[in-house]
């Protein structure tokens, strides 16, 4: 006879898993400025994939787009578990949105892999994303009013779009 976990234990384990995904493990709960840390993690993940995967930037960006879609139910569940609206410790939304800043300059990134120009574009994109994510101008703040995880993720996608547009114009 096996020792199957009780339903309450299963529920607790799935809650821990969902919160672990939503907070990127300990990053969302133990670091100051968790949104900035999540954005930085997204930028580093993007750079690492760009450098070491040898995939075209557009493939990597499509992957982050799919992750953004998956982040919506994860953020909804985290809000429910934590009984908070858009909890600060939930940073998967920043992680998946940050790389999407680079859609407009992906052709530049494709030819500048591993160069100072890539690091400069990434740094500029990171700063622009944080500005738009924190200040939420241009109606981005209204996106947060969408229900549950959709509002949590879509406002970051709006910030990524605005930052990406600025980056494209300046690049």
Residue bearing tokens 């234990």: 9
- How confident is residue 43, by pLDDT bands cut at 50, 70 and 90? very high
Cα separation of 85 and 95, whole Å?
18
Global pTM exceeds 0.75: yes
Instruction: Note the maximum CA span of the chain.
Output: 66
Query: What count of other Cβ atoms lies within 10 Å of the Cβ of residue 152?
Result: 26
Which tokens is 9 given?
């234990």
- How confident is residue 5, by pLDDT bands cut at 50, 70 and 90? low
Q: What percent of the chain has pLDDT over 90?
A: 80
Query: What pLDDT score does 17 carry?
Result: 96
Q: What angle do CA 31, 68, 123 make, to 5 degrees?
A: 55
């Amino acid at each position: 006879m096996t020792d199957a976990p009780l339903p309450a234990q299963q529920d607790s384990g799935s809650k821990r898993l969902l919160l672990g995904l939503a907070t990127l493990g300990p990053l969302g709960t133990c670091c100051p400025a968790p949104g900035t840390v999540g954005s930085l993690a997204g930028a580093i993940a993007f750079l690492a994939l760009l450098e070491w995967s040898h995939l075209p930037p557009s493939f990597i960006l499509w992957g982050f787009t799919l992750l953004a879609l998956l982040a919506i139910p994860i953020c909804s569940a985290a809000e429910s578990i934590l009984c908070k609206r858009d909890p600060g410790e939930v940073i998967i939304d920043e992680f998946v949105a940050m790389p999407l800043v680079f859609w407009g300059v992906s052709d530049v990134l494709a030819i500048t892999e591993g160069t100072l120009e890539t690091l400069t574009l990434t740094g500029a994109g990171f700063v622009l994303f944080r500005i738009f994510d924190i200040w939420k101008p241009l109606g981005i703040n209204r996106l947060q009013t969408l229900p549950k995880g959709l509002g949590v993720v879509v406002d970051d996608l709006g910030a990524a779009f605005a930052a990406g547009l600025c980056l494209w114009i300046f690049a």
